[in-house]
Amino acid sequence: MKQEPTDKTATTTKKKADQYNDPTHNYLKYWDGRDYENAAERMAIERLLEGKHFKNAVDVGGGYGRLCVLLEKYADKVTLAEPSQQQLHIAKDCLQDHPEVDRKLLQAEDLKFKDGSIDLLTMVRVMHHLPNPTPEFTEFARVLSPDGYAIIEVANYSHGRNRLKYFLKGEKLPTEPVSIRSKINDRKDEIPFVNHNPETVIKQLAHAGFKVERILSVSNLRSPGLKKIMPRRVMLAIEGILQPTLANSYFGPSVFLLIRKE
Ligand SMILES: C[S@@+](CC[C@H](N)C(=O)[O-])C[C@H]1O[C@@H](n2cnc3c(N)ncnc32)[C@H](O)[C@@H]1O
């Protein structure tokens, strides 16, 4: 059913039920107990950006700004581009010591920046909500400068455990995105929640004019059991070795792609 937008937020959330604007959903709390994943993602970003510096960075779908402070190390100017007004409100608090980070209400597919005006774009944990990221990738190609970089995190369906599962069933891994919403929450009016096949995403990026310069396999040890018994610093030491080693087999649940224009 077509809904009329009632406010600015509604026009920027594709008119779907959106947990990021739901006052009962606290995305900050989601990170409780996920220090390993948070550190693994930061490690990946630092690795991909090592030795680089940018003028204008934008974190697309950056939520409450979890990664914006890290990006400030690599860019003169950082903008948090986020379609949820609630996340932007939380960001105001979280980034109170970083007033130079701009906070803008923006959708990935319509970033409003001038052509070629951004030289670093990051998008982490947003691909879950983009079953067909083609309009977003086209927009990234528009706003990114010719020598700019982007880091796209892919929520990976082809991770090690699924590879084994499909192999044992004698089936091929799907190339299309797969919904990973629990049946109970799988309502038509919810925003999508999918995992992707990284090979398909790389083809979609190529179609938008991007080549992949580097791949990292991230959060390779994500497992509640392991997190209980292994000290975090040991997990992170192993993670550091596995990120590049397992990159080409897309082992981890999260794949980070460093991309540039062709
Ligand atoms: C799981 S959170 C990740 C937030 C942040 N990137 C991080 O890693 O902490 C997903 C974010 O994607 C945003 N989002 C959902 N659909 C989007 C879209 N079409 N364009 C831009 N952001 C979107 C949500 O509002 C939410 O803040």
Instruction: Please report the DSSP string for 12-49 in residue order.
Output: TTTTSB-GGG-TT--HHHHTTT-HHHHHHHHHHHHHHH
DSSP letter (8 states) at residue 93 = H
Mean per-residue pLDDT of the chain: 92
Q: Of all protein residues, whose CA lies closest to atom 3 belonging to ligand 1?
A: 125
What residue owns the CA closest to ligand 1's atom 4? Answer: 63
Query: How does residue 142 score in pLDDT terms, banded at 50, 70 and 90?
Result: very high
Instruction: Write down the pLDDT at residue 2.
Output: 34
Which residues, other chains included, contact 154 with Cβ-Cβ below 8 Å and sequence gap of 6+? 127, 196, 198, 201, 254, 255, 256, 257
Q: 89 pLDDT exceeds 90? A: yes
Pocket test for ligand 1, best of 34, 105, 129 (most atoms within 8 A of CB): 129
CA dihedral of residues 19, 20, 26, 29 (deg, nearest 10): 110
Using the mean position of ligand 1's atoms as its centre, give its distance from the Cα of residue 34 in Å: 17
**Which range has the worst mean pLDDT, 8-17, 105-114, 185-194?**
8-17
Residue 48 alpha carbon to ligand 1 centre in Å? 21
- pTM confidence score: 0.92
Strand partners, 196: 156
193, 184 contact by CB (below 8 A): no
**Residue of the nearest CA to atom 11 in ligand 1?**
61
Q: Whose CA is nearest to atom 22 of ligand 1?
A: 61
3-class SS at 246?
A: coil
- Specify the pLDDT at position 11: 35
Q: What are the pocket residues of ligand 1 if the criterion is a CB atom closer than 6 Å to any ligand atom?
A: 20, 60-63, 66-67, 82-84, 87, 107-108, 124-126, 129
* Partners of 256 in beta bridges: 153, 216
19: confidence class by pLDDT, cuts 50, 70, 90: confident
83 pLDDT higher than 80 = yes
Predicted confidence at residue 22, as pLDDT, reads: 87
Q: Whose C-alpha lies nearest to ligand 1, atom 5? A: 62
User: Tell me, what DSSP letter sits at residue 230?
Assistant: S
CA gyration radius for the chain? 18
Separation of CA 63 and ligand 1 centre (Å): 5
Q: Which of 88, 75, 72 is nearest to 118 (CA)?
A: 75
| CA 170 – ligand 1 centroid, Å | 35
% residues pLDDT > 90 (the chain): 84
The H or E element spanning position 87 is helix 85-94
